């Protein structure tokens, strides 16, 4: 059974630096970080202290409110440091790898009930992989979602090609789907462009949806809003394909293996390609970082600034390197043609070179202003909502209006392109996140 979904609106940002389909190295990290900041809605409680020995799959921290949710070490080794920030906020647990990669055995057995399935995810430290909508927070174990959605592909700029990164892991993916299907019906969307060849087409036990369109067609939130819009009181869960495979791997082997192919991308990357690495791997092990370059964990629209000293996040299978745009272009806005700057607006001439990829930087290309042009938001938001009204409701903190205009259906990532196209340079994702945070606070 498959359903077609053709999305017309959207925008593919032409950034230079796509990763070719080849593994350029395999990282055996010396130290990995477990970062509580990767998970939205987590108040961590530390379970280890410096010097403790851990295995791959040993818990290092838990959720303070729901102690059954464990977060585990991806490697075996010794806890080498506890990194804290302001007000002693826990930022990371560093584990020095012993190189043996001994793993906790969770038992290679497919769970038979929903409770078993949940228990396995909680024990293995993979519960955090489940994201609950509305609000995009860590899933609540006592909730039964309406459905679980997986988008098998990512349309974000330079995103990792899941057909390459998960090549050969069909059995794990299938086991992951089987496990999630114990909890709720699983919906899997596949990319129409590779419909015939994608390995996800062979997955059974899930409702398949064939999706086509520009970014954000690959965003699971956009797909949900077309397949089964989230209403007040409903919850759905989502999981990324990479973590779905990791879940399946635990089922099949009993061991936690978070190893993934990470796409090293971006115009400022000295060498692009795929690097096999664990989450928590130091950035400097993944790629060299030139001066004045920003390292983003994820894509240029939604990624997190990791910094040259940072560590790859739990959800990230991509790092993007772009120049910091401190240079100031003379008469930028007044030039008839700017060959080095991309614009989706026809007020510039990028439309003449649709295939051209740009060496983009982080320059804002203007100053912040009040909203003037607003149709640009609708053009990049393939959802049945009025973005500008939702944005304004979030700014006003008006709960009722936020509900009416679809706050349950969106996460900042779904409106990330609005950040990009806005000539008034508003921070749309931050505004939406603020709205969501308010909803969480008020509706709790």
Nearer to other proteins, 141 or 325 (CB): 325
Q: Where in 270-309 is the site for other proteins (CB under 8 A)?
A: 294, 296, 300-303, 305
- What residues contact residue 43 under an 8 Å CB cut-off, 6+ apart? 63, 64, 65
Cβ-contact 359, 267 below 8 angstroms: yes
| Closest to 103 measured CA to CA, from 78, 127, 122, 75 | 75
Among 25, 362, 395, 399, binds other proteins (CB under 8 A): 362
Q: Where in 3-22 is the site for other proteins (CB under 8 A)?
A: 13, 15
The token duo for 408 is 């349950």
The token duo for 40 is 């939205």
**Least CB distance from residue 294 to other proteins, whole Å?**
7
Question: How many angstroms separate the first and last alpha carbons of the chain?
Answer: 38
Cβ-contact 243, 126 below 8 angstroms: yes
Nearer to other proteins, 256 or 418 (CB): 418
Among 325, 434, 438, 440, binds other proteins (CB under 8 A): 325
Binding footprint of other proteins, residue count (CB under 8 A): 74
Interface with other proteins includes 263 (CB under 8 A)?
A: no
Q: Where in 114-133 is the site for other proteins (CB under 8 A)?
A: none
Interface with other proteins includes 365 (CB under 8 A)?
A: yes
Among 1, 196, 352, 364, binds other proteins (CB under 8 A): 364
Q: Where in 415-434 is the site for other proteins (CB under 8 A)?
A: 416-417, 419-425, 427-430
Nearer to other proteins, 52 or 427 (CB): 427
Interface with other proteins includes 319 (CB under 8 A)?
A: no
Q: Where in 370-389 is the site for other proteins (CB under 8 A)?
A: 370-376, 378, 384, 386, 388-389
User: x/- site string to other proteins, residues 145 to 184, per CB under 8 A?
Assistant: ----------------------------------------
The token duo for 121 is 């995810």
Cβ-contact 63, 137 below 8 angstroms: no
Q: Which stretch binds other proteins (CB under 8 A): 47-55, 256-264, 306-314, 354-362?
A: 354-362
- d(C-alpha 338, C-alpha 361), whole Å: 14
Nearer to other proteins, 119 or 343 (CB): 343
Interface with other proteins includes 406 (CB under 8 A)?
A: yes
Q: Where in 201-240 is the site for other proteins (CB under 8 A)?
A: 228-229, 231
- What residues contact residue 13 under an 8 Å CB cut-off, 6+ apart? 157, 215, 300, 301, 342, 360, 417, 420
Q: Which residues of 357-393 are buried (b: 16+ CB within 10 A; e: fewer)?
A: bbebbbeebeeeeeeeebebbebbbbbebbbbbbbbb
The token duo for 264 is 């090293």
The token duo for 401 is 């209006």
- d(C-alpha 102, C-alpha 74), whole Å: 10
**Least CB distance from residue 384 to other proteins, whole Å?**
7
Interface with other proteins includes 437 (CB under 8 A)?
A: no
The token duo for 419 is 């950040």
Among 66, 348, 395, 399, binds other proteins (CB under 8 A): 348
């Amino acid at each position: 059974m498959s359903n077609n979904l053709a999305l017309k609106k959207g925008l593919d940002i032409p950034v230079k630096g796509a990763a070719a389909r080849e593994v350029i190295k395999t990282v055996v990290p010396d130290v990995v970080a477990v970062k509580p900041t990767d998970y939205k809605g987590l108040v961590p409680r530390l379970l280890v202290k410096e010097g403790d020995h851990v295995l791959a799959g040993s818990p290092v921290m838990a959720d303070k409110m729901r102690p059954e949710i464990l977060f585990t070490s991806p490697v075996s080794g010794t806890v080498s440091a506890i990194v804290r920030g302001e007000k002693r906020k826990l930022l990371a647990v560093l584990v020095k790898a012993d190189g043996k990669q001994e793993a906790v055995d969770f038992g290679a057995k497919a769970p038979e009930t929903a409770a078993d399935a949940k228990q396995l995810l909680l024990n293995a430290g993979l519960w955090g992989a489940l994201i609950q909508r509305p609000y995009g927070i860590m899933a609540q174990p006592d909730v039964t979602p309406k459905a679980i959605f997986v988008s098998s592909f990512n349309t974000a700029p330079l995103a990792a090609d899941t057909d390459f990164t998960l090549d050969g892991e069909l059995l794990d993916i299938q086991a992951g789907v089987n496990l999630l299907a114990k909890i709720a019906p699983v919906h899997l969307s596949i990319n129409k462009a590779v419909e015939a060849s994608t390995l996800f087409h062979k997955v059974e036990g899930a409702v398949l949806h064939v999706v086509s369109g520009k970014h954000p067609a690959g965003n699971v939130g956009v797909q949900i809003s077309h397949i089964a819009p989230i209403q007040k009181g409903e919850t759905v869960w989502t999981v990324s394909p990479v973590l779905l495979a990791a879940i399946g791997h635990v089922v099949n082997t009993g061991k936690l293996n978070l190893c993934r192919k990470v796409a090293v991308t971006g115009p400022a990357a000295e060498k692009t390609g795929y690097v096999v690495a664990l989450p928590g791997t130091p950035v400097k092990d993944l790629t060299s970082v030139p001066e004045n370059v920003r390292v983003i964990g994820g894509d240029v629209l939604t990624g997190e600034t990791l910094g040259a000293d940072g560590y790859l996040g739990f959800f990230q299978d991509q790092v993007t390197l772009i120049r910091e745009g401190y240079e100031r272009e003379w008469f930028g806005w007044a030039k008839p043609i700017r060959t080095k700057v991309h614009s989706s607006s026809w007020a510039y001439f990028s439309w003449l070179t649709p295939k051209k990829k740009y060496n983009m930087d982080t320059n804002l290309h203007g100053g912040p202003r009040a909203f003037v042009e607003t149709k640009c938001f609708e053009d990049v938001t393939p959802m049945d909502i009025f973005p500008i009204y939702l944005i304004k409701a979030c700014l006003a903190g008006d709960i009722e209006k936020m509900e009416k205009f679809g706050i349950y259906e969106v996460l900042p990532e779904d409106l990330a392109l609005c950040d990009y196209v806005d000539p008034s340079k508003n921070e749309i994702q931050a505004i939406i996140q603020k709205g969501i945070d308010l909803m969480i606070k008020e509706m709790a």
